[in-house]
Amino acid sequence: MKIVCCLKQVPDAKNVRLDPQTNTLSREGVESIMNPFDRHALEEGVRLKEQHGGTVVALSMGPPQAEEMLREAISCGADEAVLVSDRAFAGADTWATTYTLAMAIKKIGGCDLVICGKQAIDGDTAQVGPGLAERLDRPYASYVRNISDFKDNTFTLERMMDDGYDLLEVPIPALITVVKDINEPRIPSLKGKMKAKKAQITVLNSVDIEADPNLLGLKGSPTQVVKVFAPELNSNREMITGTIDEIVLQLFEKLEAV
């Protein structure tokens, strides 16, 4: 089984600063960590490999300093690590990010399963996982809290919902996003750290992944961050029902009205 775990290096939640010009996060000089949800994604990948055999590739789109996080991934059981890094990727929204990651995954020869964390603690959109699945044209399950079986090239898993869970069967190739409940990540082992120290991290730039420069970074990002604020919660709830097409149309009308 070939597994790709998408990992993002994020600023440690304690020390976040906003760049006033671009309204994006200023990552300079702030301590960086592996996105906590991605830590669970990596652990799940390593566990699946231990159970079923195969390889785990840790993949990240990020600045050069993300190499450190990828070494940490190796020390926690990833077999290989790939860093997709280029100035052209800077300022990417989730649309441009999923494009970049999809091109990278294609470049490294695809895989049976992509595992992402539920969301990044800096962006908090939770869009990259599902967006990437669309780019790769594969089924996905999000908020996975347990993988109970793998038989006949199909995963049986539990998707966490507010009031319980859904039991799903997902055939590979597939993508999943995971929640923290799924596992308890291991501490890097001594042998793991020694392996990580010597490991060769593959670095790919925009040319290596054969990406269209117009679809990358700030240039390729249709969404703009206009304002960042914590919304007030109110208890108004509205359920929209119907077929998927009907629901999407109604939702679109309501959002336009806002």
By CB under 8 A, the count of residues binding another protein is 10
Q: How far is the CB of 189 from another protein (least distance, A)?
A: 4
β-strands 55-61, 80-84 pairing:
parallel
Tokens (6 digits) for 183: 């596992």
Cβ 190 to another protein shortest distance, Å: 4
Q: Near another protein by CB under 8 A, which window of 155-163, 192-200, 206-214, 223-231?
A: 192-200
Q: Give the closest residue to 93 by CA, choosing from 229, 213, 217.
A: 217
Q: In angstroms, what is the minimal distance from the CB of 204 to another protein? A: 28
Residues 195-254 that bind another protein (CB under 8 A): 197
Binders of another protein among 160-189, rule CB under 8 A? 186-189
Among 66, 93, 67, 65, which Cα is nearest to 216's?
A: 93
Of 88-147, which residues contact another protein (CB under 8 A)? none
On whether the CB atoms of residues 146 and 139 are closer than 8 A, the answer is: no
In the complex, the smallest distance separating the C-beta of residue 40 from another protein, rounded to whole angstroms, is 14
Strand partners, 4: 57, 114
- Within 10 angstroms of residue 133's Cβ, the number of other Cβ atoms is 23
Total count of residues recorded for the chain: 258
Q: Tell me the closest approach of the beta carbon of residue 71 to another protein, in angstroms.
A: 12
Residue 191 or 227: the one with the smaller Cβ distance to another protein is 191
- The terminus-to-terminus CA distance of the chain in angstroms comes to 46
Residue 77 and residue 147: Cα distance in Å, rounded? 19
Q: CB 31 → another protein: shortest distance, Å?
A: 15
Identified binder of another protein from the candidate list 62, 131, 192, 220, rule CB under 8 A = 192
Pick between residue 181 and residue 208 the one whose CB is nearest to another protein.
181
Nearer to another protein, 35 or 75 (CB): 75
**Closer Cβ to another protein, 187 or 257, answer by number:** 187
Residue pair 1/113 in contact by the 8 Å Cβ criterion: yes
Of residues 8 through 67, those in contact with another protein by CB under 8 A are: none
Per CB under 8 A, the list member of 14, 151, 191, 237 interacting with another protein is 191
C-alpha to C-alpha distance for 233 and 62, rounded to whole angstroms: 33
Among candidate residues 60, 64, 94, 58, the one with its CA nearest the CA of residue 192: 58
Minimal distance, residue 194 CB to another protein, in Å:
7
Q: Cα dihedral sign for 214, 218, 221, 226?
A: negative
Residues of this chain that bind another protein (CB under 8 A): 186-194, 197
